[in-house]
Structure 1
Amino acid sequence: MGTFLNDDWKKDRIASANHGENPMVIAKMKRGFAVIGDTQFLPGYCVLLPLVKVNTLNDLGYMQRSEYLLDMSLIGDAIQEVCNPIKVNYSIYGNTDNFLHAHIFPRYEWELEEKKTKPDWLYSSDNWTDNKYQYTDVKHLEIKEKLSKKLHQLMKDVY
């Protein structure tokens, strides 16, 4: 799984998660799938995909929105516990990938001062594309498994 032979799951990350074919899934949650980020230049970076493809948060009913945002915050709690960042940033855009998904970024003391106060997206494009930062089981499976275990514990307490 470290180097994926077949990346077809990336064509529709939500459908592949629903079919058990998305290797990045950490946990199925109440309103979405917690997945480890494709890039790990900020270790523990995760994404929350919805269970059903919608364009924006506003396309969900009020209860579904509440559950989605709670799921998002639980991923942040798991990252906080496992990765011990100084804070966790949350963002929902949908500009590049035109479907609802939330980014959950840990932020660390070791980051350069000029980066700490800026959005994660302002990191060099190399951080998003360089192979040394791409998820592999060899480098990142341990953190993925720890996040999964913690997230499942949190969900038991909340749901």
Structure 2
Amino acid sequence: MSWKNDRIGAANRGENPMVLARMKSGFAVIGDTQFLPGYCVLLPSKGVNTLNDLTYKQRTDYLLDMSLIGDAIQEVCQPRRINFSIYGNTDAFLHAHIFPRYDWEPEERKPYPVWQYSPDMWRDSQYQYREEAHRELKEKLSQQLQQLMQKAYEE
């Protein structure tokens, strides 16, 4: 899985199989884990450390793209809300997490960030992205995102 060692470079080379769409600021990718179906990540087109390393225009494009991914997830997965987060503590490069949150989640999890889910949820093979289990979701998210980008980038 060498593409995982350089996700941004692999996306630019067309070798990252998780890519949903090329966007103005980078790449929308489906998350490695899908215990919250529709979880996505926005990777920048070039590796930078933080949002603050981008120009103002690049920041605007990045945050718009992040919100478009949220719109696509909302339309396809119908969650109760979307959570957006940018950290960079574990993987020290800019990337944004876009998490759908659902009514069916355990009550004790709903008010807290997804990072407080058990580590088992993040590693359990049943929740890892698998083409045979998640291809349809990936395709729907990609199609919806293409439609939203066309509309948003024309304005």
TM-score band (shorter)? over 0.9
Match of 2:121 in 1: 127
Counterparts of 2:121 and 2:17, CA distance in 1: 21
- Using the aligned pairs only, state the percent identity: 70
Amino acid at match of 1:156: Q
Match of 1:50 in 2: 44
Q: Provide the alpha-carbon RMSD of the alignment.
A: 0.3
In structure 1, list runs of 5 or more residues that go unmatched.
Answer: 1-6
Match of 1:80 among 71, 74, 80: 74
Q: What do the CA deviations read for 1:33-85 (whole angstroms, capped 9, x no partner)?
A: 00000000000000000000000000000010010000000000000000000
1:10: how far off?
0.3
Match of 2:96 among 63, 85, 102: 102
Amino acid at match of 2:103: E
The two structures have a TM-score, normalised by structure 2, of 0.98
In structure 2, list runs of 5 or more residues that go unmatched.
Answer: none
Counterparts of 1:118 and 1:140, CA distance in 2: 26
**1:146 matches 2:140:** yes
**1:63 matches 2:57:** yes
Aligned length: 153
Counterparts of 2:97 and 2:8, CA distance in 1: 15
SS of 2:64's partner is helix
1:32: how far off?
1.1
Match of 1:27 among 13, 17, 21: 21
Counterparts of 1:121 and 1:66, CA distance in 2: 26
The two structures have a TM-score, normalised by structure 1, of 0.96
